Amino acid sequence: MSRTLLVVLLVSLLVHGTTAASCNSEDEKALLAFKNADGDRTSGRVSELKLESMGLRGTLPPELGSLSQLRTLSVHDNGMDGPVPPAFGKLRQLEVLDLGGNLFSGPLPSLLAQLASTLQTLDLTGYRFEGPIPSVVGKLTSLRYLILERADGSGRIPSFLAKLEKLLVLNLRSSLFTGSIPSFLRKLKSLEQLDLSDSSKLTGSIPSSLGELKCLQRLDLSRISQLTGSIPKSLGDLQNLEYLDLSVTMLSGSIPPSLGKLASFETLKISGTNVAGRCPDTLGNLKKLKVLDLSFNRGLSTISLSGCKLQGSIPSWFGSINLKEHPELTCEIDLSFNSITGALPNSLGRISNLKHLFLQSNKIQGKLPDSFGKTLPKLRYLELRDNFLTGVPIDLSNMGKGTLYHLGLNYNNLSFQALEGLTTLPQVSFLALDHSQLTGAIPSWLGKIPMAQNAKDVVSDVAVLSLSSNRITGEIPPELGQLTQLTALYLDDNALTGAIPPSLAKLTSLQRLDLARNRLTGKIPVEFLTLKKLNYLNVAHNQLTGAIPSGEPLIDMDPENFAANPGLCGKRSPSSVMKMAGLLCHSQCGNAASKQTQRPRNDCNENMKISSRTS
């Protein structure tokens, strides 16, 4: 049975109460849909008729115009063709007319204007108008949803659309309209969704007047290949905007800081454009942002999304942010203080101009990708603290290429075994490995890490190595004395044992040395008196003995920095807090003084031993 004849028959059943003698299983499915239609079938008061995705063919029967109480008519996603019957103008109660996903063609009947007071949804997806959009559409002033996706209406976007002031959704996706995006769209004050994507014949720029659509929640202008100009800052006035897609266009300029005002923003896509420059720090204010796509922007140099509550793993498209066409530029990415999980993608290592990467305070796992050691020659600052990282690649020979200043790996789950690749770095000035659950003895290879002051292009006179607050045991390896450019070495709050190696005196640039709260024994090496730049030494809370070497630079150190070493004593300068000048610990320091000036052991313990108060 013809599926179109079936429709006629079904309408006859509904309106006149006649019967059908024969139909196949597909026909029965359609009949069942009619059977379930809302309304009183015996009286013809059918209010809803949905025949979606049923394989219907042929034209729409004008008999449908007899369903005078019909409010919803949908034949979406079938294979029907031909024009819309003028009889549809009789459906004075019709609120929803969905003809999308078919092969309908021809002009719309002018009688549809009689539905002006009732029709709220008109879906003409794929309709072939064979000319401009009929003006009757502009007379349907009660429309809230107008969908003309893939409709082939020619000419410019018609100005009569400005009369549809109740529109909530205007979908002109994949249209063949020409000309620019019209400024009259600003009159659609109730509009919540505007989709002009994939409209390849539209030209010109984004009108700043779109910023007047205060109710707009979704704006999609993606894949308009001839869309040029800059992103208007007025889009930052769309306080209800949740979704913005400007991808695959010819837009240029920079991302306006005003977008950071969009408190409801959840999705921002500006990939594959000519947008360049710095991604504004104001995007860090977008606390609801869930999706960000800035891929394939060859001139984009900085992305800052710190503290945006981002979740999930870093997408691989980040690797497409490449400035090979702009070698004079460098790239900065800040995704710190979010809830990013998973491993770092290898694609990050493809950003050859990457200079600063901030990923601290997330939930990133695993090792650094191998690509980090091969293709990040301009990297200067890599901050990864407070994550769940476990190690680094075995080969880091191309990371930084002499520019790396800061490598922050502290507050992670590291092991010395997974860190040996650090010895392959070209150089680093600040290496933080503290609070990272390191256990066991300090390996001798640590002395081979190329710690250096004055990293290229960085104003710096420091070289810092921090291993504080781990669970490190064993002795301090003498090989640390090979780090001759170190200005600060922090080994405090561990379980180190044995003597302080005199080789540390080879660190002639050392300004700060913290060995507090360990289990070190023996004497403070007298060689430390050669460390003329040393202005801070803390050995408190150990098991050191003997005399503090007398002389600069140790003589003026804060006594509290030597506290809680029961066997430690020594001469102090008048400028020290304890002011013990001239007092010697004879019983423990072995000073050859006369018996007349010798003090009893208890007096020595009480006056010459360094305070054991908690520092």
The confidence score (pLDDT) of residue 9 equals 47
pLDDT bucket at 324, cuts 50 / 70 / 90: low
Render pLDDT for 466-485 as a digit per residue (tens, 0 to 9).
Answer: 999 999 999 999 999 999 99
The whole-model pTM stands at 0.65
Would the pLDDT of 43 be above 80? no
The confidence score (pLDDT) of residue 290 equals 77
d(CA 199, CA 210): 18
The confidence score (pLDDT) of residue 284 equals 72
pLDDT bucket at 202, cuts 50 / 70 / 90: very high
pLDDT bucket at 310, cuts 50 / 70 / 90: confident
The confidence score (pLDDT) of residue 113 equals 95
pLDDT, mean of residues 608-613? 39
Q: Count how many Cα atoms sit within 13 Å of the Cα of residue 494 in the half-sphere of its side chain.
A: 30
d(CA 568, CA 565): 5
What strand order describes the sheet that includes 218-220?
38-40, 45-50, 72-74, 96-98, 121-123, 145-147, 169-171, 193-195, 218-220, 243-245, 267-269, 291-293
The confidence score (pLDDT) of residue 455 equals 53
d(CA 564, CA 579): 18
Render pLDDT for 50-107 as a digit per residue (tens, 0 to 9).
Answer: 999 999 999 999 999 999 899 999 999 999 999 999 999 999 999 999 999 999 999 9
The confidence score (pLDDT) of residue 593 equals 34
d(CA 229, CA 249): 10
Would the pLDDT of 301 be above 50? yes
Averaged pLDDT of the chain: 84
Would the pLDDT of 192 be above 70? yes
Q: CA angle, corner 388, sides to 384 and 390, nearest 5?
A: 90
* Stronger pLDDT, 11 or 287, i.e. the higher one: 287
pLDDT bucket at 395, cuts 50 / 70 / 90: very high
User: Which tokens sit at 76?
Assistant: 């979406």
Would the pLDDT of 574 be above 50? no
Q: What is the DSSP letter of 354?
A: E
pLDDT, mean of residues 361-387? 94
d(CA 467, CA 437): 10
CA-to-CA separations, 391 to 28, 258, 388, in angstroms, rounded: 65, 39, 10
Rounded to the nearest 5°, which phi and psi values hold at 66? Answer: -80, -10
Length of the chain: 615
Would the pLDDT of 402 be above 90? no
CA-wise closest residue to 177 among 224, 110, 236, 125: 224
Q: Which stretch of DSSP H or E encloses residue 171?
A: strand 169-171
pLDDT, mean of residues 260-276? 89
pLDDT, mean of residues 267-277? 88
pLDDT bucket at 329, cuts 50 / 70 / 90: low
Q: Please tell me the chain's helix, strand, coil percentages from 3-state DSSP, rounded to the nearest 5.
A: 20, 25, 55
